[in-house]
Chains A and B, each alone.
Chain A
Amino acid sequence: MTASLSSDSAAAAGDLSTSRVGKAATVSVLLGALVLAALPMVLPNYQVSVLTEVLIFAVLAMSIDMLAGYAGRTSLCHGAIFGTATYMTIWLAQDGSSIAVAMIAGVLMATMLAAVFGMLAIRTSGVYFLLLTLALGMVVWGICLRWTSVTGGENGLRGPGRPEFLNDHVSFYYVVFVCVALITLAMWRIVRSPFGLTMRGIRDSESRMQALGYNVPLHMFAAFTISGFFAGMAGALYAVFNNFVSPSAVALVLSVEGLLMTIVGGVGTLFGGFIGAAAIIALENVVSLYTERWQSVLGAVFIIIMIFAPDGVLGRLKDGFGKWTSRSSR
């Protein structure tokens, strides 16, 4: 990770390049990774498993952020894409497929679904994109609920359990940690690549992008499919984590929760997904000890964040840090 974060490659990019990564950002990311790597050594078992969930949902949040923060499209069907991978993985695994094969098939299935959804949704934007993806997600939910012979309907499907060596929480956590680190690195490379710059260009002005020779629908299709691929990876990991899947894994609530994580962390920050996922899952776990109405509390927290940090927690931190450094350099 350090190699690609170093500024050497940026210097070689020539003088029009803007791909410098601040030292502060590099240090924060490494520090964050270090904390996530160290936490299981001090946390009790149950909380390690909660932390595993945080990592998995951070991937979902980042996949949503790829579209929302970079391409300017807010999706409400990523929960369904995520859950499709979960269903596929568990459905195959319970039939005796090896877990790796089942996961790969799950990710492929989610990617194909995203490709189909992408073709339908990419020509819309704004509220129309929101509503179209909402409807597409609902279709998946309806199928999973009604197609009982395959999905088990409301009863859902139970998997065969994790392989022996992943049974204890800590070793499973580290496997997920490595997977998520690699996935994050890949996503980070993509949003900083020419393709990522293209997405930001489309977010800012589609007509200008077209005039510059970009086939905007093609790029949007690719962006949607890639984003769905990562949502599928999160879903496949979730299948192994949860060993159970029911229609709630493809429900709208999940898409909304993923989007909330993105917004809380900071749209367009990518790494904000970790903060958002941690905040919302922690809240869910802590508050639900005291009241059944944890969603009301979540709503209140969300409103507070929207008022005081409309760019999300990480957006706010970046902003504050920028001001602080510019003041101290004066």
Chain B
Amino acid sequence: MQDYFRLENVTVQFGALVAVDAVSMAIRSGERRAIIGPNGAGKTTLFNAMTGVVRPTQGRVLFDGNDISRAPVHKRSAMGISRTFQITNLFPRLSVAENVLLAMLGHTPRKFALATLPTLNPDEAERGAAALEMTGLGNRRHSVVTELSYGEQRQLELAMALATQPRILLLDEPAAGLSPRERVIVSDIIRALPRDLTLILIEHDMDIVMNLVDYITVLNNGKLLVEASPEKIKNNTDVQDVYLGRGGQDA
């Protein structure tokens, strides 16, 4: 196993606020990694630096050996970096099928076609259908997004990220705001993902995280606090301090 996705001393600064402070991280191909930490720890900002929404003030982002620190979002997406959003980010006025269709056309030159209908080749159609099946939306494809329940919208987030056959999938709190029952659905979906898919997951729910990932990175105040296996994290006193609220006051 080799380093697949690397952060080298990544710092993201907004004015005086240092949201991510010299974080280094190496994720191997096929690894499942969780990033946890209290609110404001810089988890989503770190995701944004990985996907290109923000550029690191300092440091480098490397993917499969290439320095992608300056690459824009759509280029990173084309390289196979796929993400979901913490706050549901779908196309609300389009149908489920159209949402998936847009996801799949994004990496084809056909997205520029002016005179044809938006179509998929049989291969893609099958993949899109499989992504919808896998996320439990198989019979909802003609519903408009605004007609979906919140839980189904989260499932669609996953379906769109999956349909593109990413090389690395970044999930930003996939279970945020879900009821306990819906959480089970989402964690089942994540567990059923192909085992060779590299996965980075931000999540607050420790139960979900513990069962899903190989390795956990804990962030606090923008800094990397500790990296270890789920069992070790569970018993780590620093982590317990952070989650009990003492960590915030140290800063």
Contact = CB atoms under 8 A, between A and B. Distances in A.
A200 B145 CA distance: 13
A207 interface: yes
Given A18-B142, A197-B98, A208 B113 contact: no
B125 A16 contact: yes
A12 B119 contact: yes
Query: Interface residues of B toward A: which range?
Result: 35 or more
A47 to B, nearest CB: 35
B160 A194 contact: no
A301 B84 CA distance: 45
Contact of B91 (A10, A190, A194, A204): A204
Contact of B77 (A13, A204, A213): A213
A152 interface: no
Interface string B22-66: 000000000000000000000000000001010000000000000
Given A14-B125, A16-B125, A212 B103 contact: yes
A8 B93 CA distance: 25
Query: Interface residues of A toward B: which range?
Result: 35 or more
Nearest to B160: A212
A209 interface: yes
Contacts, number: 130
A16 B129 contact: yes
B117 A192 contact: yes
B164 interface: yes
Interface in A155-193: 189-190, 192-193
B74 A215 contact: yes
A17 interface: yes
B57 to A, nearest CB: 21
Given A9-B117, A14-B125, A214 B111 contact: yes
Given A9-B117, A194-B110, A18 B91 contact: no
Interface in A24-45: none
A16 B208 CA distance: 32
A216 B106 CA distance: 11
A189 B97 contact: no
B123 to A, nearest CB: 10
Contacts of A205: 89-92
B107 interface: yes
Contacts of B6: none
Contacts of B94: 197, 200-201, 204
B97 A17 contact: yes
Given A189-B115, A193-B114, A211-B83, A18 B101 contact: yes
Given A194-B105, A212-B106, A213-B74, A17 B119 contact: yes
Given A14-B120, A205-B90, A211-B73, A195 B125 contact: no
A13 B106 contact: no
Contacts of A219: 111
Given A13-B117, A16-B141, A213-B77, 6 more contacts: A14-B119, A198-B111, A204-B90, A209-B102, A212-B164, A214-B74
6 contacts: A18-B142, A193-B115, A193-B116, A208-B85, A209-B106, A212-B106
Interface of A: 9-10, 12-19, 189-190, 192-198, 200-201, 203-205, 207-216, 219, 222, 226
A-B pairs, 3 with minimum CB distance: A213-B106, A212-B106, A213-B77
